[in-house]
Amino acid sequence: MENTTHFGFKDVATEDKQGLVRGVFDSVASKYDLMNDVLSFGAHRLWKRYTVASSNVKTGDKVLDIAGGTGDLAIEFRKKAGESGKVILSDINAAMLAEGRRNLTNKGVFGVEFIQLNAENLPFESNSFDCVSIAFGLRNVTDKDQALREMHRILKPGGCLLVLEFSKTDNELLSQAYDFYSFNIMPKLGGIIADDEESYQYLAESIRQHPDQETLKNMVLDAGFSFCEYHNLTGGIVALHKGIKA
């Protein structure tokens, strides 16, 4: 890896990014769901449901949700995998993982495992999962290529990777409106609701630094997947990439 990487629009030492990202999510963890609902007008729940519906997960399957945060995907995967399946909710951030555990307990969802881990070094045997998902988390990973290789490694042959992430719209009017919202409204709302304008400024910048749809598709293929397709949601503001391991 290079000695520097991006943290939003700033260049930082590669070894420092993980700690900086941790600081952001330590700060926003307690208001994360509320802010997601406010900033996306509730659309993030529809995007996540679409992701789970696209997963092919069935009863008895083993699923890993990376950067699972407050557990929206894990709850739905638990329903699909059933009592005979296994769902692991993971996150690199302890505060986010604690919020996920609290959220699932409050909703009466049990049987989900919780593991704190780094997506770049997954502590699992090769060929052991039927599905791996990461929603709105890949853009915060320092070495995305390494993380994708690790996801490929732990998937069983025929297993499915799902990457839900903010992306790029090719609609000029929508792009201009989205830029204005991201950099003028979103941080201000973060300051008002979560008392943290700076973290939401970073999150807006991190979206712009994330690879576009075709670039990410090629990254998934380069990681070893034999197939990858993507579906644009909300005009390309968000995209779901689906990869299959041969």
More confident site: 86 or 1:
86
Task: State pTM to two decimals.
Answer: 0.93
CB 168 within 8 A of CB 214: no
What range defines the domain where residue 217 resides?
4-244
Tallying the residues shown for the chain, one arrives at 246
Most confident region among 32-41, 166-175, 225-234 by mean pLDDT: 225-234
| Number of C-beta neighbours around residue 205 at 10 A | 17
CA distance 82 to 59: 5
CA distance 168 to 238: 7
Convert the pLDDT of each residue in 176-197 to its tens digit.
Answer: 999 999 999 999 999 998 888 9
Residue 7 burial (10 A CB sphere; 0-12, 13-18, 19+): buried
Q: What is the mean pLDDT of residues 98-119?
A: 96
Convert the pLDDT of each residue in 72-81 to its tens digit.
Answer: 999 999 999 9
| Number of C-beta neighbours around residue 103 at 10 A | 19
- pLDDT higher than 70, residue 201: yes
- pLDDT higher than 70, residue 35: yes
Q: Tell me the CA distances in angstroms from 36 to 39, 41, 142, 194, one per residue in order.
A: 5, 8, 23, 11
Torsions phi, psi of 134, nearest 5? Answer: -150, 120
Q: What is the mean pLDDT of residues 138-158?
A: 97
At residue 28, the pLDDT reads: 86
Number of domains composing the chain? 1
β pairing state of 155-166 and 238-244? antiparallel
At residue 1, the pLDDT reads: 54
- pLDDT higher than 80, residue 170: yes
CB 165 within 8 A of CB 203: no
**CATH code (residue 162):** 3.40.50.150
